[in-house]
């Protein structure tokens, strides 16, 4: 339930609000109870078509490629096909609208992506064929003929560089209203939260390092989901590191409900986002709306798009653990500026579900026009 899944779920709701019938294509059936528990609420599609009847924990990266066959199957029974898959730019399917979260070719060039597959000869052998297929698909972009959307100006620049496509920025929708309900809490504790799935690129090791430097001045909470072997192993690694470092001021939460997350946000003062070159950062906006001060790495969407490259306006940025610990210690000692809190709550509304819905429906209308007219054309052909 990361950013790509959030965009997908919000798109379903927008389309249904707009009077459209929605078919969701997935590799495996969605566990809707788990989605509702984690996100608090969700809108289900009219129908769901899955490639597999069960969850398969093995061959995860290769299952992504099979999403193309599913998309072609759904295409035959739809007026409009929109792809929000995490690797949407390398699925050889002509879609009307493709939401490219970040160019796959850029990811393939970053060592972090393949780091977990470089640990042993077995994992290298497992990954090499997939790597070759992805590079081959990256060079054949004939299927990106429709409207290309993306999540930030940071990703937009990468799409132009690697894909040669002009993408329209459509910020992911954030359910601002539910987080704003705790923004007015004044009895905040010296608590720092980091939130996101347990995955190596989130760099939670840096959070532990910062916690060690801040010491008794504050407490830290890492909140996330862990699904799959790599994610679970990373979580266990962090638990071991925490214990070895003797960090009594750190708690690691896994798979908590939305209400539990909101309760933590109501108590916290700071949101620490350690990932480098995050494409956007939905969790950062949620934290801002909940009244926390964001402290993000000086790169990617959180810095360029959310903080607008300005230090101290909507939050703060850092490059090193030392810099982050000094900023956080200052916030914990001095409290949260009421002026920043008010400014942030108002600013967060520009990333709301309503803003996402308005822009997406306009884009869809520009692509298909009147649905009934399009249906007639299909029947005539």
> DSSP states of 51-107 as a string?
SSSS---SSHHHHHHHHHHHHHHHHTT-S--EE--TTGGGS----SEEE-SS-HHHH
- The better pLDDT of the pair 326, 64 is held by 326
Q: 83 and 190, same structural domain? A: no
Q: 363 and 276, same structural domain? A: no
DSSP string, 293-359: EEEEESSHHIIIIISTT-TTTS-EEESSHHHHHHHHHHHHHH---HHHHHHHHHHHGGGBHHHHHHH
Lowest-pLDDT range, 1-10, 103-112, 329-338?
103-112
How far lies 285's CA from each of 139, 274, 292, 306, in Å?
34, 15, 10, 8
Q: 205 and 150, same structural domain? A: no
Helix axes 32-39, 3-17, angle to 10 degrees: 100
Give mean pLDDT, residues 157-167.
89
pLDDT at 186 over 90: no
What is the band of 112 on the pLDDT scale with cuts at 50, 70, 90? very low
pLDDT at 113 over 60: no
Q: 22 and 65, same structural domain? A: yes
Instruction: Identify the pLDDT of residue 51.
Output: 79
Lowest-pLDDT range, 93-97, 112-116, 155-159, 332-336?
112-116
The pLDDT tens digits for 301-310 are 999 999 999 9
Instruction: Identify the pLDDT of residue 351.
Output: 92
What is the band of 52 on the pLDDT scale with cuts at 50, 70, 90? confident
Instruction: Identify the pLDDT of residue 364.
Output: 87
CA nearest neighbour of 202 among 128, 261, 283: 283
What is the band of 110 on the pLDDT scale with cuts at 50, 70, 90? low
Domains held by the chain: number: 2
Give the distance between the most distant pair of CA atoms in the chain.
Answer: 72
- CATH value at residue 313: 3.40.50.2000
pLDDT at 142 over 80: no
Give mean pLDDT, residues 239-246.
96
- Give me 3's structure tokens: 């950013």
Instruction: Identify the pLDDT of residue 372.
Output: 47
Residue 266: strand, helix, or coil: helix
Q: 247 and 150, same structural domain? A: no
Give mean pLDDT, residues 144-168.
90
Q: 132 and 58, same structural domain? A: yes
Q: 136 and 103, same structural domain? A: yes
Residue 270 to residue 288: CA distance in whole angstroms: 9
What is the band of 120 on the pLDDT scale with cuts at 50, 70, 90? low
Instruction: Identify the pLDDT of residue 303.
Output: 97
Instruction: Identify the pLDDT of residue 114.
Output: 44
- CATH value at residue 364: 3.40.50
Q: 344 and 286, same structural domain? A: yes
Residue 280 to residue 307: CA distance in whole angstroms: 11
Instruction: Identify the pLDDT of residue 57.
Output: 61
Q: How long a stretch of residues is the chain?
A: 381
pTM of the complete model: 0.80
Instruction: Identify the pLDDT of residue 42.
Output: 80
Q: 236 and 327, same structural domain? A: yes
pLDDT at 361 over 50: yes
Give mean pLDDT, residues 358-373.
74
- Give me 330's structure tokens: 């200052």
What is the band of 111 on the pLDDT scale with cuts at 50, 70, 90? very low
Residue 92 to residue 94: CA distance in whole angstroms: 7
Instruction: Identify the pLDDT of residue 58.
Output: 58
pLDDT at 256 over 70: yes
Q: H-helix or E-strand containing 161? A: helix 153-163
Residue 196: strand, helix, or coil: coil
Other Cβ atoms within 10 Å of 134 Cβ, number? 19
Q: H-helix or E-strand containing 26? A: strand 23-26
Give mean pLDDT, residues 25-46.
84
How far lies 145's CA from each of 67, 70, 94, 95, 271, in Å?
18, 19, 7, 7, 39
CB 269 within 8 A of CB 331: yes
Range of the domain at 91: 3-173+353-380
- DSSP classification of residue 183: T
Q: 164 and 54, same structural domain? A: yes
HSE-up of residue 30 (Cα within 13 Å, Cβ side)? 20
Q: What is the mean pLDDT of the chain?
A: 84
Q: 72 and 10, same structural domain? A: yes
- Give me 302's structure tokens: 């959180």
Lowest-pLDDT range, 2-11, 132-141, 175-184, 310-319?
132-141
Residue 66 to residue 27: CA distance in whole angstroms: 8
How far lies 23's CA from each of 8, 49, 70, 173, in Å?
12, 7, 12, 20
Q: 203 and 252, same structural domain? A: yes
pLDDT at 370 over 50: no
Instruction: Identify the pLDDT of residue 262.
Output: 94
């Amino acid at each position: 339930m990361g950013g790509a899944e959030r965009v997908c779920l919000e798109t379903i709701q927008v389309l249904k609000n707009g009077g459209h019938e929605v078919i969701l294509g997935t590799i495996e059936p969605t566990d809707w109870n788990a989605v509702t528990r984690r996100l608090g609420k969700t809108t289900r599609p009219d129908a769901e078509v899955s490639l597999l009847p069960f969850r398969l924990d093995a061959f995860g990266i290769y299952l992504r490629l099979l999403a193309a066959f599913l998309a072609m199957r759904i295409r035959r029974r739809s007026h409009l096909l929109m792809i929000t898959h995490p690797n949407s730019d390398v699925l050889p399917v002509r879609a009307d609208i493709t939401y490219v979260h970040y160019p796959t070719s850029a990811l393939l060039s970053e060592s972090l992506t393949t780091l977990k597959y470089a640990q042993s000869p077995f994992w290298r052998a497992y990954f090499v064929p997939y790597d070759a297929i992805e590079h081959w698909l990256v060079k054949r972009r004939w299927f990106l003929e429709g409207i290309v959307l993306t999540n930030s100006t940071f990703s937009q620049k990468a799409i132009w560089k690697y894909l040669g496509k002009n993408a329209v920025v459509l910020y992911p929708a954030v359910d601002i209203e539910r987080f704003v309900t705790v923004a007015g809490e004044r009895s905040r504790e010296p608590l720092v939260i980091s939130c996101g799935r347990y995955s190596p690129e989130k760099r939670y090791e840096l959070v532990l390092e910062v916690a060690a430097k801040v010491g008794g001045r504050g407490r830290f909470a890492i909140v996330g989901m862990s699904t799959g072997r790599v994610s679970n192993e990373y979580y266990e690694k962090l638990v071991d590191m925490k214990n070895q470092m003797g960090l009594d001021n750190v708690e690691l939460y896994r798979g908590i409900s939305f209400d539990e997350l909101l309760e933590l946000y109501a108590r916290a003062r700071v949101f620490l986002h350690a990932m480098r070159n995050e494409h956007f950062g939905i969790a950062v906006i949620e934290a801002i709306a909940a009244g926390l001060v964001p402290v993000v790495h000086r790169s990617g969407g959180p810095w360029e798009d959310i903080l607008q490259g300005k230090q101290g306006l909507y939050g703060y940025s850092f490059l090193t653990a030392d810099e982050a610990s000094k900023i956080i210690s200052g916030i914990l000692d001095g409290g949260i500026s009421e002026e920043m809190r008010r400014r942030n709550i108002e600013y967060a509304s520009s990333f709301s579900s309503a803003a996402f819905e308005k822009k997406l429906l306009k884009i869809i209308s520009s692509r298909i026009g009147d649905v009934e007219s399009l249906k007639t054309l299909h029947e005539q052909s």
